[in-house]
Every structure is written in C-alpha cells, then in structure tokens.
Structure 1
Amino acid sequence: MLNIFVLEDDFFQQTRIETAIKKCMDDNKLRYRYLEVFGKPQQLLEAIKETGNHQFFFLDIEIKGEEKKGMEIARKIREKDPSASIVFVTTHSEFMPVTYSYRVSALDFIDKGLSEQDYQEAISDVLIHAASSINKTVGDDSFSFRSEHSQIQVPFSDILYFETSSTIHKVILTTKKGHMEFYGKVSDIAKSDERLYQSHRSYVVNPENVIRVDKANHTVYFENGESCFVSRMKLKGLVERIALR
C-alpha cells in the first residue's frame, strides 16, 4: 500500500489535491496506508519513517515565497530514499529542467493551472503508476523488510548495520547515508536476508561493508567511523563470512 505525503502551503490547494487523491483511490479501488498533508517542510521530513517505492510525495516547488524550496526538500528525500516517487505540483513548470541539477528524478510535473478534469487525470495517472510498481520484483541489490507497522526498501550495498533501538519494538538502521528508525525486531531482520549476519543479540551487520574487525575488543568497523559490537560466540562466524567476500 502507498504512503502518500503532500507538501503544500496553500489551504485551497491542499484541499484540492487531497480531494483528487482520494477520488483516484476510490475510483480505482486502490488502497493506501495513510495520506498526510503538510504546510511546512520540516513537518513532512520528520514524518518520514520508511523507505521504498511505496513512499509517494507530491511537492509544491514554491513554499512560503521560497521559489525552489520544494526541490531542496526533494533532494533531502532522495538522499534518504532512492526508491521513493516524487511528483511536483506547481505553477512553476519552467523549473522542470532545473530538477536535473538537483538530482531528484521527479516522476512528473503537474500544473496547478490545469482544468479540474485534466488535474484529476494527471493525479490519477501518477498514483496508478506508483501503485502498479509496488509489487514488482526488487533488484538483487535491494533489501526489503516488512512488519506489521513498517515497510522499508533500501539498496543493500548501502547497509552497514541494524541495532535494537532504545524505543521499544523499534530498530535503527545505519547506512552509508545516515540513520532511520522503524518498527521491527533485530532477530526478524537477520532471518529476512541471508546476506546479513547477526553479530550480537542487539546487532545485525552487512559483512560486505565491514572494513575491520577488532577481535580483542569485539568490535567491527565500517566506513564513516561507524562501529558496532560482535559477541564472542559470533566472532568466528563473522570473520569467516568476511573472508568469503
């Protein structure tokens, strides 16, 4: 199911796009987990808890008079999530070429000046396309995990390690690009992909990205100075896995 986010600071346009989205989903019998509309960029960014091609963003380009604010937000989203779908809904279609310099790979531009019928059709087209893409087979270099409350999809090569969060029932994923927290169990993650290795009851690592093992201090190191624990019992197995790379 899609998670749909909207960034739009004009109340009329908020209502317009929310109505169009709900009509599309109802008419086409499509399901979404949630639909959230935000007027402030930071609110939207803080609400992102998952990654993957089920994450869909409608972004206005101009926010609070800042002409390219939406593009900056798109770039931040894209840094965290290469698989998310991003669509700009804007009066600034002349900015279309500029998106290439922001490296955001927008799925489409929808002009706010369209007639209601054409506007509805444009919104429906991109949502139907996104919904049909969710269940397509992910590439070998993708890691996918789904629990009752979370769904993530990230490039496997970016994964450093997972660790149990201090927040109950949550896990923190550390990648080459940063951190994300989601609902899940470290033990379930270890079982979900044979390329991973549970190095400790609280940690699961990607052996492909281990750059050094400190056997004396039971610590494994990754790039960017990241590190995590490996238990005494798991140390030999991890070293063997690394040797097979």
Structure 2
Amino acid sequence: MKIFVLDDDKQQQVYMETTIRRIFEKNSWEAFQLLEIYGKPEQLIDAMHERGSHQIFFLDIEIKKEAQKGLEVAQQIRKQDPYALIVFVTTHSEFLPLTFRYQVSAFDFIDKNLSDEDFAERIEQDLAYLYERRDIYQADETYIFENGHSEFQVPFNEIYYFETSEVPHKIILYTKTQRLEFYGQLSEVVDHDKRLIRCHRSFVVNPGKISSIDKDKKMVFFPNGSSCYVSRYKMKGLLEAFRKVGKHG
C-alpha cells in the first residue's frame, strides 16, 4: 500500500500523517509501503513511478491559493494511473460537483471541517477499503509485477507484450491503452504469470491478445497493428499456447 498526501498547509500535513499512522496502529495493519507528504503538486507528480490499485492519493483542492489546483492534479494522476484511489480532503465542499466535471473518478470527498473523530473515521474507511482489497486481485483478472525496483498492476486482458528496452535493465510493457517502462528482466515477467510466453530473447507475449502469427516471417501481430519477433525455437510452443486460448493458427 502506498499513500500520498498533497496539502500546502504544514499543520494539516502533520495532522494527516499523524491520523494515518494512528489508524494503522489501531487496526494492527501491516505497515504501509510508503507514506509521502507533499506541499507542491509537481513534487507529487514527480514521485509517481508506479500504477495500480495499491495506491491512494489524499488531495487538497486549493493549493497556493489556486482554488481548483487539486482537481488539475487529480487529472494528471488519473492520466498516469487509471487504477489508484483519489480522495479529496478540503474545506471547499462547494467544489464537490466539479469533481465529476473533471472526470477523475474520485473515491471520496472529505470535509476538513468535520470533527477530529469524524474526520479520522472517514480516512480510516478509505484506507480500510484499500487495505482489505490488497490481496483480492486474482491472477486471472490482474497482472501484478513487483521486484526490488518496480511495482505495478494492470488488467491482464489488456496486456499485449513486453520487450527489452534500449535502456539497460529496463523492460517496456505495451497494453491496449498504455506504454509502461520499468526496471526488471523478462524472466521475472514470465515468473509473475505463467500465462505469458517468452517467444524471443527480447519479447514476452500474451497469447490471448495475439491477432495472428506469420510463421514464415516469424512475426506476431496484435489488434493495434503492433508486432514482435518469434524465434524459430519458440514458434512451436507459442502456436500451442495461441491455439489453447481459442485462436486458430
């Protein structure tokens, strides 16, 4: 679980951090992987290196006297991460209707004017939702990757393929909607989900998303027109996996 807070009020920053830590202690939850408090939007955006439903963002709406800055930040977060939870924490309850206009799929809207007890209860409810669902994402629904350098989650059925990057020790994931570069090895990619197939020293593919295979050119094609290579020695195994998911070579 990774927790991010954006608020330019130092006192509120301390209050949020104290509240979150007390909630974890009260519930005897395993420690969060990360708790970061930021006063500037660009600091928070720069700190985003992952995607996934294991992340939650508590955002103030008014930052540095810019009345709707938090909403703009939420838009940036949502562009980078369609899966994280976004919670607005603000004194500007009149901005609630605007959260729908900004189309950021906010999970909650918490008024800072609540009593300490009610405020903590709302924060706890949101954290509990995230905490209780940390292990429910089954392999057949979500691909979860984690190593010492990277962590992310994506819907498995949106994965097209992985390839080695020109940057040493980095891998590029191509899905239906995004391109994600991260530190790792192709062997780790396959180890995290055996439905993926290593078809070349530089590529790992999702057989369920292959549109066609050209045996002569030793190429694999995907619905968006992209393609990758298949080594001669990997062709037989790939064809078997391709047919097994209901395709026809």
Q: TM-score, normalised by structure 2?
A: 0.82
- Larger mean CA deviation between 75-84 and 200-209 belongs to 75-84
| TM-aligned CA distance change 1:160 to 1:40, over 3 Å | farther
Equivalent residue of 1:44, what SS?
A: helix
Q: Comparing both chains, which one has the higher relative contact order based on Cα–Cα distances under 8 Å and sequence gaps of 6 or more? A: 1
Q: What letter is aligned with 1:23?
A: R
Per the alignment, residue 16 of structure 2 pairs with 17
Other-structure match for 1:3 = 2
Name the residue aligned to 1:38: 38
Whether the 8 Å contact between 1:190 and 1:198 is mirrored in structure 2 is yes
CA deviations over 1:166-220 (Å, ceiling 9, x no partner):
5554433222222223343211221332332112123211223333545555443
Query: What is aligned with 2:206?
Result: 206
Q: Secondary structure at the match of 1:232?
A: coil
Residue 25 of structure 2 is matched in structure 1 by: 26
* Aligned CA distance change for structure 1 residues 69 and 185 (closer, same or farther; 3 Å): same
Secondary structure in structure 2 of the residue aligned to 1:32? coil
For the residues of structure 2 that align with 1:183 and 1:175, how far apart are their CA atoms?
A: 17
Match in the other structure for 2:121 = 121
SS in 2 for 1:123: helix
CA 1:82–1:95: 2 relative to 1, 3 Å: same
C-alpha separation in 1, matches of 2:106 and 2:226: 32
Contact 1:56 1:85 in 2 (8 A): yes
Quick check: 1:145–1:151 contact (8 Å CA) kept in 2? Answer: yes
Q: CA contact under 8 A between 2:139 and 2:193: conserved in structure 1?
A: no
Determine what percentage of the aligned residue pairs are the same residue. Answer: 49
**C-alpha displacement at 1:132, in angstroms?**
1.6
Cα 1:118/1:234, change in 2 over 3 Å: same
Moved more, 50-59 or 114-123: 114-123
| Deviation (angstroms), 1:3 | 0.8
Q: Which moved more, 1:176-185 or 1:17-26?
A: 176-185
What is the aligned partner in structure 2 of residue 171 from structure 1?
A: 171
Tell me the alpha carbon deviations over residues 92-123 of structure 1, each in whole angstroms, 9 at most, x when there is no partner.
22222333343333221111222333322322
Amino acid at match of 1:94: E
Task: Decide which moves more: 160-169 or 4-13.
Answer: 160-169
Question: CA separation in 1, counterparts of 2:91 and 2:48?
Answer: 26
The residue number in structure 2 matching 1:154 is 154
CA–CA distance in structure 1, aligned partners of residues 169 and 23 of structure 2: 34
SS of structure 2 residue aligned to 1:99: helix
The alignment partner of 2:233 has SS state of: helix
**2:72 corresponds to 1:90:** no
Cα distance change of structure 1 residues 7 and 240 upon mapping to structure 2, 3 Å threshold: same
- CA distance in structure 2 between the aligned counterparts of 1:46 and 1:169, rounded to whole angstroms: 21
Matched to 1:209, the amino acid is K
1:233 aligned counterpart, secondary structure: coil
- Whether 1:144 and 2:144 are equivalent positions in the alignment is yes
Name which of structure 1's ranges 87-96 and 207-216 shifts more when overlaid on structure 2: 207-216
- Displacement of 1:35 after TM fit? 0.9
Give a deviation string over 1:65-98, Cα, whole Å, max 9, x none: 4433323333343344343222111122222233
1:196 matches 2:196: yes
Check the 8 A contact 1:57/1:87 in 2, yes or no.
yes
